[in-house]
Amino acid sequence: MMSDWSHEIVLAASILSWFIIGAGLAQTTIYLLQLIIAAYALSRRPPVARSALLWHRYGDVAPPIALLVPAYNEEVNVVESVHSMLALEYPNFEVIVINDGSKDQTLQRLIEAFKLVKFRRPYEEALAHEPIRGLYSSPMTERLFVVDKENGGKADAQNAGINVCRAPLFCVIDGDSILEPDALMRAAQPFIDDPERTIAVGGTIRIANGSRIEAGRVREIHLSNRLLPLLQVVEYLRAFLMARLAWSRINTLMLVSGAFGMFRRTEVVAVGGFTKGSMGEDLDLVIKLHRHMRDAGRKYRIQFIPEPVCWTEAPETLGVLARQRTRWQRGALECFFRYRSMLFNPRYGRVGFLGFGHILVVDVLGPVAEVLGYILIPAFWLIGILSTEYLLAFTSLIFTYGVCVSVCSLVLEEAELQRFPRARDLAVLTAVAVIENFGYRQLNNFWRVKGWWQYLRGNQGWGEMTRTGLTGAKK
């Protein structure tokens, strides 16, 4: 009887181990595939180095763009951010700051700095949002409008901005982020090259911690001297340069970051704008766009291009980072289950198979399988249920393939883009790409499992995002 039980326990352990290793293998295969596609995409579309050339080439035919900047309690940075946005190099754009019922002096700071006056501007109430208390324009510049509204969250503020803007394209950006001066021109390029099909474009988000920032511009790029932002630099590189570029190449891009994304207004209005109260409103919008265009049988492109850069501040403490990551995980799960009917649905083609398949493997199953693996595989091996082969296979999937994928994304960056200014930076990042697999990756997965738990319990809080402000970066 006992021997029967032990046989079943071994069988169950083997099946569980196979599931864990299978999930790891699927994830690793996806990453390696993404690397190959991303390398191909970069070789097919090498970046244009000088922004003066872009202006010369596209300046006359660049479409008007509205830059939507939701601001909530941003009194410290808002004036400097708006100044830097007004100085962007683009022929035809307006900046619409949406004060989302800030409790601090955000609106007052803007009124004082730009001598804002109340203004009436007719607009279509195409999307629902909390009431607008007033619109403001500035006699100092025709490009700036401020929408003062009652608090409704980021998605709600963005929807108000979409209603008020008149340009055919709009670009969303976080109030505390910094756009490179040529970022709009670069991001608009797909809308110029293929205006009928392109409906959304995402650019790269880079981490500004450690860089020298003056007057709302990144003057000198430096790596942070703290480990946590450095780890996130490698992480962002992998996410943007590898994953997004690869999926964009095969028109399966599922996420255009809410921190910097450009969209065609008509299509966004047609899908009802950003979903209010969503944890992952950016992912949600892109999925809605895919669904809308596929349901309508229209040809479209949702692209990621690596050159336009938006700088952001990365969390520097474990507590803040943990809150951010659990929220991202809840956002991914929320969108996955909300639109689950698209998964493997032939009607949605590669979006249903590859895009949703990717979310299933990497975001839904991935963290659970990996955390189970950390606990069960060594335990099974120690009590002699599992052979060393299994242990080594799991170890390689977690650690050595992880090193390979992280270093390869750095290789891609250096071979094609060379955005880190010094050889020393590359050496530091190579070391970080190795060590992130020993501790940080595991911690991240723990946070993601925590996000799973919070999702199951219906926790919808955003958590406090403490920021020091980009102006607080190295001076």
Partner 1 sequence: MWYIWDLSILLSALSLVIMLFLIARRVLQERRGRAQIDQRRQLHTALIAFTENRDREALKVVLLAVPAGVAINAGFEFISLLRGEEYDDVLAAFDECGLPALVGKQLENGNSAERMHAAEMLAALRSENAVASLLSALDRDRSREVRIAAAIALCDLGSLPPLDIALGKVGVAGQRSRRLIELFRRFPPARFEELRDHAARTDAIPFIRAAAIDALAHAAGFHFADFFARATGDQSPEVAAAALRALGLTGHAEAPAILASAMANGDWDVRAAAADAAGRLGLAGLAAPLSALMDDEAWTVRYAAANALRSFGQPGERLLRDIAASEVSRSQRTASLILAEGPAA
Count the neighbouring beta carbons within 10 Å of the beta carbon of residue 197.
16
- Residue-level length of the chain: 475
Interface positions, 129-188, toward partner 1 (CB under 8 A): 134, 137
Can you tell me which residue has the tokens 């809840």?
A: 330
Nearer to partner 1, 122 or 458 (CB): 122
Nearer to partner 1, 360 or 434 (CB): 434
Judged by CB under 8 A, does residue 395 bind partner 1?
A: yes
Judged by CB under 8 A, does residue 53 bind partner 1?
A: yes
Q: Among residues 223, 319, 323, 207, which one has the least CA distance to residue 257?
A: 207
- Give the containing element (helix H, strand E) for 233: helix 227-237
CA dihedral 459, 359, 243, 367 (to 10 degrees): 60
Nearer to partner 1, 259 or 407 (CB): 407
Interface positions, 20-39, toward partner 1 (CB under 8 A): 21, 25
Beta strands in 279-340 (DSSP E): 301-312
Residue choice 12, 318, 379, 415 for contact with partner 1 (CB under 8 A): 415
Question: 132: helix, coil or strand?
Answer: strand
Q: Which stretch binds partner 1 (CB under 8 A): 81-89, 112-120, 177-185, 324-332?
A: 112-120
Question: 283: helix, coil or strand?
Answer: helix
Radius of gyration of the chain (CA): 23
Judged by CB under 8 A, does residue 195 bind partner 1?
A: yes
Residue choice 4, 60, 142, 464 for contact with partner 1 (CB under 8 A): 60
Least Å distance between CB 94 and partner 1? 15
Q: Which stretch binds partner 1 (CB under 8 A): 121-129, 329-337, 345-353, 438-446?
A: 121-129
Residue choice 61, 128, 250, 383 for contact with partner 1 (CB under 8 A): 61
Question: 35: helix, coil or strand?
Answer: helix
Residue choice 112, 194, 220, 295 for contact with partner 1 (CB under 8 A): 194
Q: At what angle do helices 2-44 and 388-395 cross, to 10 degrees?
A: 30
Whether 304 and 240 have beta carbons less than 8 Å apart is answered as yes
Interface positions, 333-392, toward partner 1 (CB under 8 A): 387, 389-390, 392
Judged by CB under 8 A, does residue 262 bind partner 1?
A: no
Residue choice 8, 104, 112, 193 for contact with partner 1 (CB under 8 A): 193
Q: Among residues 168, 206, 203, which one has the least CA distance to residue 189?
A: 203
Question: 88: helix, coil or strand?
Answer: coil
Judged by CB under 8 A, does residue 15 bind partner 1?
A: no
Question: 385: helix, coil or strand?
Answer: coil
CA distance 147 to 140: 17
| Amino acid code (one letter) for 243 | A
Please count the residues of this chain forming the interface with partner 1, following the rule CB under 8 A. Answer: 59
Nearer to partner 1, 25 or 449 (CB): 25
Judged by CB under 8 A, does residue 319 bind partner 1?
A: no
Judged by CB under 8 A, does residue 426 bind partner 1?
A: yes
Judged by CB under 8 A, does residue 220 bind partner 1?
A: no
CA distance 133 to 399: 53
Contact set with partner 1 (CB under 8 A) = 21, 25, 43-49, 52-53, 56-58, 60-61, 63, 117-122, 124, 126, 134, 137, 191-197, 387, 389-390, 392-393, 395-397, 400-401, 403-404, 407-408, 410-411, 414-415, 418, 422-423, 426-427, 430, 434
